[in-house]
Structure 1
Amino acid sequence: MSGPAVSEARETSGATTGLLLSYVRQQGGDDAVAEVLRRAGVPFTAAELELPSHWTSYDTRIKLFAAATEVLGDPQTMFRVGREALGLGLTPALVLLVRAMGSPRQVYRQLPRAVAKFTTTSTMRVVESGATHATLSYRLHEGYPHSRLDCEYAQGLIGMVPTLFGLPPAQLLHSECESDGHSVCTYHLTWERRRRFGGRRRTDEDVPELLALRDQLRILQSAAADLVASEDVETVLQRIIEKAAEAVLAPGWVLAVADPAGGPALVRSAGLPQHQVDALAATLLAGADPGPNVVAVDVASARRVHGRLATVYRPGDSGLVHERQMLAAYAGYAAAALDLLMALESSRQEADRAGTLLTLAHELAGATEAVDVCAVVAEALPRVVGCDSAAVMLWDPAEGCLRTAAHVDPVEENQQLMYGTPLRAEDVPELVGMLTDREPRFLRPESSSPVLRQLLTALQLTDVVAVPVVAGRTFLGVATASWPAGRAPEVLAGDVLHRLRGVGDQAATALQRARLLETVRHQATHDALTGLPNRVLFLERLGEALATTPADQHVGVLFCDLDRFKGVNDSLGHAAGDELLRQVSARLRAAIRPGDTVGRLSGDEFAVLLPVLTRPEDADRVVARVLGCFDEPFRLEGAGVAVGTSVGVAVQGGGSGSADALLRASDADMYRHKRRTPFHPRLASSPRDPDGGHES
C-alpha cells in the first residue's frame, strides 16, 4: 500500500526516471531497484517513478543517478542508460515523433525543443549543424549544482539519436563541461549518412518504428479501455491527464471540460500554479489562442465538444512537430469516454429517479402526518429534480403566511434560517400572485421582492423554482427546488419544472389524505362539543405521564362533576346545556398550568391531568383555581346562571400505578366532596325564588 502523495518540484520527467529504473532492473533485477531507492532515500515507489506523467525534482534525479551508479558498480552507468534508451522502453510516442522528422540532422535541429520533455532545469542550443555533424551546448539553469552524472546521461541520450534511424550511435566529443568550470557543456557529434534504397525489403532499420507503433497501439488501446471502464467524472478526468502524458511528455497539463451535470466547467491540471491554471482554463474554454508554449486540442466527438486538453511548456519552449496529432488521438478517446460516461450517467439518473419516485410513492402511502409527508417530499426532491436544496412550505390561512415544514440543505445554518422565516402574503408579492393564479415561479435574488431577495441572498441561492401544492381549489403550500451560483441547469422551465410539478401533485394528494386522517383521529380522540381530549386520549396521556415522571415527583388528577347540570338542561334546554359545557371547558383551560391537560370524560364530567407535581399538596393550588372558575355566573339564554362543581383529587408517585386506578381514585374523592358540599344551581334573575334558588 502506497503512502500519502508527495509533492515536489516538477523538474524531471518520469520518462527519465523510468529509463533509469528499467536499466537497473535489467542489470540487477528488482532487488537492485529496491536498493537504489533505499540509498537514494526518495519518497516515491518504483511504480510512481516509472510513470511518464510523474515528474520529480532535479535533486531527486541526481540522487537516483548516484545511487544507481553505486549499486551497479559501473562508473559508466548513466552514459549507458542514455545510450540504451531505445531498448529500455523510450516513450513510443516520442520514437514515432522523432522518426517522423526523417533524419538525424532534423532531430538534432529539434533537440532543444525535445529537452523540455525531460527536464525544466536545462537549456540546449544548436551551435551549428550539417548533414552528418552537429555541435550542441547544454547549460544548467542558475541555482542548480551541476552533476557530471547528469552530463553523462545527456551524452548517452544525444548520441543514441541515429539508432532510431537504423544507424550506429553518433560519435561524441565532449570538449567543455560545466563540472570543469566552463559556462556550458559542449558536445560535438558526427554520424553516418543515412542510405536510402528504393524497392528494398524491410530490414532492421525499420524495427524501432515498428516496435514503437506496436507499443503506441497498445497504449492507445489501454487508454481507451481504461477510460471507458471509468465510472465517474473525477476518475475519467484524472485518467485523461495520466494517459495523455504517456503520449506527449510535458511539464504541465491543463484539461478543461464542461460539467456533464450542468455545473461550472471542470478543470484538472498538473505541474502549474493555480493562478496560471485558472487563466489558461478560461482561455481554452473561450476557444482563444493559449500562446506559443501551449499545445491545445479539442476534446471532441461526433456528438459534442466537451472542452480542450493542453500541454504547457516553459516560456520559449514548445512541442515537437506532429505532436498535436498525437495529442488529438488521446483527446478523441477522452471525448468518447466522456460521451459514454454522460450516457451512463443519464441512464443512472433516470433509473435513480424512477427508483426514487417509486420509493416516494411507497413512503407517502405510509405517511399519516402532514409533517411526515413534507419530510418525505423534501428528501426526494434533490434526487428527482437534481437540485442542491429543497423545501416544502405549508400555508397557514389563519396567519396568512407560508411556514417551512421540511427543508433539505447541506448547510445546517440554512435550515435554521428557513424554519425560522415565515413568508407573509402581505410582504411577498410573489406569494400573492401564486395564491391568485396557482402558477409556478422562477426566482432569482436580483428580480425578487425585498423580503425574498434578502432570504435568497442569506441562503446563497441564485436560482429557485417554486410550484404551488394544490388539492382541488385548496392552496396547501409550496414545494421548491434551489441551486447556488453556477449549479442550476441552463433550462428550468422544461424537465426540471415537469419533475417538480409531478412531485408537488403527489405531495398534494398525500397532504390531503393526511389532513383527512388527522381529522378522523381528532374526532376519535376529542370531544366533538368542546374540542377537549375525550376519555380515551385523557387516559393515554395519563398513562404516559405516569411512565415518564421521575419517582421523586408526582402525577395528579382532578375529577370535576358539575352540580345539578340536569337542572340546567331541564329548565333552559339542551342547547343551553351544551353552551354551558363549552363555557366550562374554556374556563378550565384558562385556569390550568402550561403542560396540564383538561379532558371531558362524559356528560358533565371533566378531568384535569397534572403531570408534574413536586409535592402532593401542590395540587391544592390548581384545585383552588378550578373552583374559582365557577365563582362568576355563566351567561345562558340571556340570563346569568350560577353553576358549581365538585372536585376530587388523587395523586400518585411517578413511575408506578395505572391510569385507570388513579382516575377512579379521583372520581371516588369527588363523590366524597359532593356529599359534603351539596350545591343547587341558581338562575340569577329567577322571579320564582327571590334568593335566586331554583330547584330542577
Structure 2
Amino acid sequence: MSGGRPGARPGPGRPEPAGAPAEARETSGATTGLVLAFVRQELGEDAVQEVLRRAQVPHTAEELTQPSTWTSYETRIRLFTAATELLGDPNVMFRMGAESLRTGMAPALVVLVRAMGSPRQVFQRLPKAVANFSTTSTMTVQEVGPTSATLRYELHDGYAHSRLDCDYARGLITMIPTIFGLAPARVVHEECESSGYEACVYHLSWDRRSRRPWGRRRSVSADPELTALREQVRSLQSAATDLVDGGDLETVLARIVERAAAAVLAPAYLLAVSAPGGGAPLVHSAGLPAAEVPGLTARLLAGEDLGPGAVTVDVASARRTHGRLAALHRPGDGGLGDERAMLAAYAGHAAAALDLVLALEDSRSEARRAGALLDLAHRLALAADADEVCAVVADALPRIVGCGSSGVMLWEPASAALRTTACVGLRPEAEIVLRTTTLRAEDVPELFGMLSDREPRVLDTDRSSGPLRTLLGSLDLHSAVAVPLLAGTTFLGVVTASWTAGELGDGPDRDVLARLRGVGDQASTALQKARLLETVRHQATHDALTGLPNRVLFRERLAAALAAVPDGGAVGVLFCDLDRFKAVNDTLGHAAGDELLRQVSARLRAAVRPGDTVGRLSGDEFAVLLPRLGTPADAGSVVARVAEAFGDPFRLDGTPVDVGTSTGVAVHSGRVSDVAAVAEQLLRDADAAMYRHKHRDRPPTPSPRPAS
C-alpha cells in the first residue's frame, strides 16, 4: 500500500494543481479538518482562508476537511505554523488536540473508542491506529496500567521534527479519557526529539473516576458517545443524500470512496462494483498505487483475505449485491475496534443509493435509446442512397444497443459474399481490415446457415468458425451479434454489434437482440426505399436500352467537368452518329436496330479512357465527354479509337453488318466563367463538326447567283 511514501497518488475528487508535484499521502484529512475547525470556531471563516493563504496549501478548506483527503507531512506542519501565528498562542496546538472532541473529531472514531471500555484499552491499541492519521511516525507502548501509561513516539528518518506536531500529539493523548467522561489525562513530557532525544516519550496518568462534582450527574446531551452517535447518524443520512445527488454512476462511485473515510479512517480504500451492462467491474480506489489495484480488485471480488489490516464488507441492499468495499491499512497497522460494523453500516447506505442511481441510470438510458431511435428514423427518412443508409445505421447502433462498435455488410448476389459498407467504433487499422474483408457463404458456415434460416448469429472468439475467429481477433473483438437484413424473403445483408473482451460480460441478453432486430427492420425498409429511389433516379438519368447516361445526365457531367477544369487543362465533347442505321431498321427490323445500339454502346465504352463518359443523346446519336485533356490535341487519340471501334462488322441475328460512324469533336481550354453558356456552345460545336463529317462526300449546295 502507498501509505506515506512520497509521490503517492491523491485521493479521488481532488485534482492536482497545474504544475504542482504529487502530494504525498502522509496526513489524514481527520487532522487537517480538526485544524481548520478549531481556527473557524476561534476566529471565523476569514481566519480559515488566511491560514490557507499563509500555509500556501494547494487545497480548499472543504477538501482538507474530508477524511479521504491525505496531504504531506510538510503541508501539515505549514498548517500548524500558520494557525499558531494567526491565533497568537504558542500553546495553541496542544489546545487543538486536547479540545478535538469539542471541535469536530470524527463521530465514528468516538464511538469506536468508547466501545473499548476504558482509556487503558485505548492506549494499548493506539499504536496500531496511528497510521490512520499519520504515516510519518511510529508509536510504541512501553508500559500501561489501569491509570497510567508510557508511550514512545518517533518520527521516521527523512523528516524534520516539529515541536508543534509534538504539542498536538500530546493534546490528543490527554483528550482520550474525556471520551469516557473522565478528566483529561496528565502528561509528563521530558524527552522530546526537538531537544535532541531519539524519540518523544510521554508519561501519562489519569483518574479512574471523574473528580468533577457533576461527573456522575452529567446530562444525557453532554455524553460524548451519545453526541457522537447522533453525529454519525446525521453523517450517514448526509452521505446517502450526497451519493444520490451525485447524478451519474461514476461520480457516485467516487463519492462512495471519499465518504468511506467518514466511517473508517484508513490510508487506502478500494471499491469494486458490477457494471450495469455487464463486463469488467467498475473500480475506484484511493491511496493505492495503480499497479496494485487490479490484483487487489480480483482478490476483493473473489472474497479472499486481503491481509490483517483490511476491513472488507459487501455493498449490498435488499435488492442486490453491487460489489465490495475495503478500507486498507499497512501491514501491522489497524483500527481501534470494530470498524467492520461501521463500514458495513455505511456500505448499506451506499448500496441503497446505488439502487436509486442505477434505476435513474436505466431510466436515462431508455430515454437516450428512445431519442436515438427517433433520430435514426429521422435520418433514415432523409438518407439519399444505400451507402448513406448503412452509415446512419452503423452510427446509431452503439447508442441504441450499447455496443462498442458496429457495422453494416451488404450482400452481393453475383459473388455470393458480404462486404462491409459502413462501420464505427474500430481503430483505423481494424476498420481497414474489415472493409477489405469479403465473407463468402461457401467459406463461413454461420453465413451459410443465416441464408437458410434467416436467424441472427451470436459470434465469439471461442466458439465461432475459423474464418470468423480470425476476423474477430484481427479486429481486437471478442464477441458480436449479426442480424440479417431482409426484404420479405430477399437477403440484403447483415447489421452487426460487437464488443471487446470484458465489455459484454456473459453475452448479449434478450434486450440487446430485440433492439438489434428493431434497428435491422428499420434498416431493411430504408435500404429498400433507397434502392427504389436509386432505380428511379437511374431511370430518369439513363437510357433504358443501353444503360448509358441520357442527355440530362450527360449535360450535368459536362457542366461539372467545365466547373472543375484547371488552368492549362481542357474539356472535350465528341459527337458520334451512326451511318446507315435507318437501313438496318428497314431491312433487319427494329429488334436488330436495338441490338446494334447496345453493341455500339459496348464498343464505345471499351474505346474511351477511364473517367470519360459515354452517353446516348437520342436515336443513333452518341456523345463522349472527355473531362481531362492536357491539350486540345489529346482529343484526337480518342477520336481515332472511336473510329477504330467501328472497323469490324457488327453481328445482328447471325448476319455481319458493316456500320460506319460520323464524328465531330469540340474542345474548350482553360477556366470557365459561365459554365452553362460554354457547355451549350461545346455541344453545338461538336454537333456541327459531326454534321460536317457526315456530309463530307456530298457536293456543296450551289449558291444562287445574284440577279443581273
Instruction: Tell me the TM-score normalised to structure 1 length.
Output: 0.92
DSSP 3-state at the match of 1:676: coil
Shift of 1:551: 4.8
Contact 1:20 1:81 in 2 (8 A): yes
Determine the structure 2 residue equivalent to 1:629: 645
Determine the structure 1 residue equivalent to 2:74: 59
Q: Distance in 1 between matches of 2:293 and 2:553?
A: 68
Check if 1:596 corresponds to 2:612. Answer: yes
Aligned 1:337-356 pairs, distance under 5 A: 337-356=353-372
Aligned 1:148-167 pairs, distance under 5 A: 148-167=163-182
Contact 1:103 1:194 in 2 (8 A): no
Q: Distance in 1 between matches of 2:651 and 2:16?
A: 88
**Could you say if the C-alpha distance between residues 128 and 618 of structure 1 is closer, same or farther in structure 2, counting changes exceeding 3 Å?**
same
Shift of 1:515: 1.5
Q: Distance in 1 between matches of 2:64 and 2:376?
A: 51
Shift of 1:253: 0.8
Contact 2:247 2:357 in 1 (8 A): yes
The higher-RCO structure (CA 8 Å, 6+ apart) is 2
Check if 1:514 corresponds to 2:530. Answer: yes
Check if 1:89 corresponds to 2:109. Answer: no
Q: Which moved more, 1:203-212 or 1:644-653?
A: 203-212
Q: Distance in 2 between matches of 1:218 and 1:678?
A: 111
**Residue type of the alignment partner of 1:381:** L
Return the match for 1:43 from 39, 58, 76: 58
Determine the structure 1 residue equivalent to 2:17: 3
Contact 2:575 2:621 in 1 (8 A): yes
Q: Which moved more, 1:497-506 or 1:558-567?
A: 497-506
Return the match for 2:281 from 262, 265, 280: 265
DSSP 3-state at the match of 1:581: helix
Q: Which moved more, 1:371-380 or 1:117-126?
A: 117-126
Q: Give aligned pairs, total.
A: 679
Q: Which moved more, 1:95-104 or 1:177-186?
A: 177-186
Aligned 1:447-596 pairs, distance under 5 A: 447-492=463-508, 494-596=510-612
Determine the structure 1 residue equivalent to 2:331: 315
Q: Which moved more, 1:141-150 or 1:526-535?
A: 141-150
Shift of 1:672: 1.6
Q: Distance in 2 between matches of 1:657 and 1:215?
A: 83
Q: Distance in 2 between matches of 1:577 and 1:204?
A: 114
Determine the structure 2 residue equivalent to 1:140: 155
Shift of 1:489: 4.2
Q: Distance in 2 between matches of 1:208 and 1:429?
A: 74
Determine the structure 2 residue equivalent to 1:662: 682
**Residue type of the alignment partner of 1:48:** E
Q: Which moved more, 1:1-10 or 1:668-677?
A: 1-10
Contact 2:307 2:331 in 1 (8 A): no
Q: Distance in 2 between matches of 1:468 and 1:377?
A: 14
Determine the structure 1 residue equivalent to 2:691: 671
Contact 1:255 1:268 in 2 (8 A): yes
**Residue type of the alignment partner of 1:671:** Y
Shift of 1:399: 2.1
Contact 1:295 1:319 in 2 (8 A): no
Q: Distance in 1 between matches of 2:59 and 2:491?
A: 65
Q: Distance in 2 between matches of 1:564 and 1:256?
A: 86
Is there any run of 5+ residues in structure 1 with no aligned partner, and where? 680-696
Q: Distance in 2 between matches of 1:316 and 1:677?
A: 114
Q: Which moved more, 1:506-515 or 1:477-486?
A: 506-515
Determine the structure 2 residue equivalent to 1:694: none
DSSP 3-state at the match of 1:446: coil
Q: Distance in 2 between matches of 1:200 and 1:75?
A: 34
Q: Distance in 2 between matches of 1:6 and 1:400?
A: 62
Per-residue CA distance 1:229-254 (angstroms, 9 max, x = gap) = 12212101111111111222111111
Per-residue CA distance 1:255-287 (angstroms, 9 max, x = gap) = 111112312011111112233332222121012
Shift of 1:225: 1.0
Q: Distance in 2 between matches of 1:144 and 1:652?
A: 87
Determine the structure 2 residue equivalent to 1:385: 401
**Residue type of the alignment partner of 2:631:** R
DSSP 3-state at the match of 1:160: helix
**Residue type of the alignment partner of 1:372:** E
Shift of 1:657: 4.2
Check if 1:171 corresponds to 2:186. Answer: yes
Contact 1:167 1:205 in 2 (8 A): no
Contact 2:550 2:616 in 1 (8 A): yes
Determine the structure 1 residue equivalent to 2:266: 250
Determine the structure 2 residue equivalent to 1:222: 238
Shift of 1:410: 4.6
DSSP 3-state at the match of 1:192: coil
Q: Which moved more, 1:56-65 or 1:564-573?
A: 56-65
Per-residue CA distance 1:525-568 (angstroms, 9 max, x = gap) = 11111111111111111122222223532221111111121111
DSSP 3-state at the match of 1:116: helix
Per-residue CA distance 1:34-75 (angstroms, 9 max, x = gap) = 454444444334333232211112232223333433444432
RMSD over equivalenced CA pairs, Å: 2.5
DSSP 3-state at the match of 2:468: helix
Shift of 1:457: 0.9
Contact 2:122 2:336 in 1 (8 A): no
Determine the structure 2 residue equivalent to 1:692: none
Check if 1:100 corresponds to 2:115. Answer: yes
Aligned-residue sequence identity (percent) comes to: 66
**Could you say if the C-alpha distance between residues 451 and 400 of structure 1 is closer, same or farther in structure 2, counting changes exceeding 3 Å?**
same
Q: Distance in 1 between matches of 2:148 and 2:368?
A: 67
Determine the structure 2 residue equivalent to 1:641: 657
Return the match for 2:636 from 620, 625, 647: 620
**Could you say if the C-alpha distance between residues 40 and 216 of structure 1 is closer, same or farther in structure 2, counting changes exceeding 3 Å?**
same
Contact 2:17 2:58 in 1 (8 A): no
